Structure 1
């Protein structure tokens, strides 16, 4: 949190410390997903440029690592989409691994992991109600009967669960 505050105050030394601490990790994170050294290097550099350019809006309540990985993920998706478009217009589309389906798969897998972790961290009743509704397809009335609560209480738990997921996903997407 101190790193974030210092970076927000234009402290280049703090920025360089964060860069030194996370450069290899971000590079490995991207390389593992894309299997491309070029993309990994490009995305890593663009991620740190984005960190510096967006320093004023960093969230001091979230760890710098969480924000960096979120930025890296978003930059990676942007770079892969640009590469896919470039290859498509140059007539090399069939030869490139950077297709929309790869981007979509990475995006979906990352989002599902984030959502699943968020669901596991919910209060027990909220998690149970949400999973019964969304994963098992039970109606509000069926869930209410199972737990001896009202259908309105079921709606409340599901609403709170969705709000929690939406808020966290929004913060990750920044």
Structure 2
């Protein structure tokens, strides 16, 4: 039997299981080819099917189900890679700082970092929150927009203005 997006939209668990069986392996190898990490590939597949079920009501009956599944997987894969990059960048910065044994330099760096954090604290509450979510926690504009119930364009404007304001404050 061939199931459609409409079947899943209606909560048909048999349809969901069949789609899972049809696409699990294909999604895994598609993702693995792009990320070269079996952990990220498996995580992407699992999150794809979780999101597919959680957001089943928003599936389009006009778009082939396979196309929608791969679109969800691609989005999740990009989010996971972005978060992994941010995590590795921060971990690398921390280990770099620990390896260095120059107290004077570390003191200057610490003072500069404190100055940056003070400037961030001087941003308006909403702008500060959006900036932290984006730059410090690695959220995407879309994730921030959904979490705060604002448009992605508003998120982008907050970040641009925050960066501009921080640059201006740090130049003084």
Q: TM-score, normalised by structure 2?
A: 0.52
Report matched runs for 1:125-144 at 5 Å.
Answer: none
Provide the alpha-carbon RMSD of the alignment: 1.9
CA distance 1:90–1:34, shift in 2 (3 Å): same
Deviations 1:95-120 (A, max 9, x none): xxxxxxxxxxxxxxxxxxxxxxxxxx
Query: CA contact under 8 A between 1:30 and 1:43: conserved in structure 2?
Result: yes
Aligned length: 94
Partner residue, 2:4: 3
Partner residue, 2:47: 46
- Report the CA distance between 1:92 and its aligned residue: 6.9
**How many angstroms apart in 2 are the aligned matches of 1:93 and 1:30?**
30
Which stretches in structure 1 are left out of the alignment for 5+ residues? Answer: 95-174
Partner residue, 1:15: 16
Structure label with greater radius of gyration: 2
Partner residue, 1:64: 65
**How many angstroms apart in 1 are the aligned matches of 2:13 and 2:87?**
35
- Aligned residue for 1:60, secondary structure, equals coil
- Aligned residue for 1:91, secondary structure, equals helix
- Report the CA distance between 1:13 and its aligned residue: 1.2
**How many angstroms apart in 2 are the aligned matches of 1:24 and 1:12?**
19
Partner residue, 1:121: none
Which stretches in structure 2 are left out of the alignment for 5+ residues? Answer: 96-172
Query: CA contact under 8 A between 1:27 and 1:44: conserved in structure 2?
Result: yes
